[in-house]
Amino acid sequence: MAAIKAILETEPSKYSFDDLERDGKTSWDGVTNWGALKNLETLRVGDAVAIYHTGSQRAAVGIAIISRAAYRMHGQPSKYLAVNVRTGRRFESAVSLNELRTEPAFAESPLFGQGRLSVVLLTAVQSDILDRLSRRKPVAAR
C-alpha cells in the first residue's frame, strides 16, 4: 500500500465518499484556509489521501488518489486551489477521530488542534497507523 499522504476533510451532506464512488472522480475544491491550501499544494499525482467525514460521523472512510496536482480554478479567486481525485478504496472499517486521538503518533497532529484545517498532512508513522486501523475487519452485529 502506498503511504497515505494526507487527510482531506469533507462534510458528507455536501460531498461524501459515496458520492466519489458514484462519480469515480471529482475536483476537490472549496479549500480556503491558508494552512490547508499550503498542504494541498504539496500533493502530487498518484498520492493516496484519506477522505474524512466531518459532522456527526467524524471518521476517515476511504482512500482517494490525486489525479491532478493543485491548480487554480477558472472563475475563482487566485488564492484558492483545487486538486482532482479519483476513487481509491473504501476502508474495511471507518477510523474515528477518537481512535486517532488515542494513538501517540497523532498527539501533535493539526487534526486536533487547528480548526478549519481541511487538508492535514500525515507522517509516515501516522500513515501506517491509519492504514492498519482501516483494514480491521468490521465487528459483526449481534
- Structural domain boundaries of the chain? 4-134
Identify which of 101, 127, 9, 118 has the alpha carbon closest to the alpha carbon of residue 61: 9
Decide if domain 4-134 falls under CATH 3.40.50.11540.
Answer: no
State residue 36 phi and psi, 5-degree precision. -65, -40
- Going through the chain in order, the beta strands assigned E by DSSP cover 4-10, 25-28, 48-53, 59-72, 81-96, 119-121
Q: Considering the chain, what percentage of its residues have pLDDT values greater than 90?
A: 72
- pLDDT for 113 beyond 90: no
Residue 5 has which C-alpha cell?
499522504
Q: Considering the chain, what percentage of its residues have pLDDT values greater than 70?
A: 94
Is the pTM here over 0.85, yes or no? yes
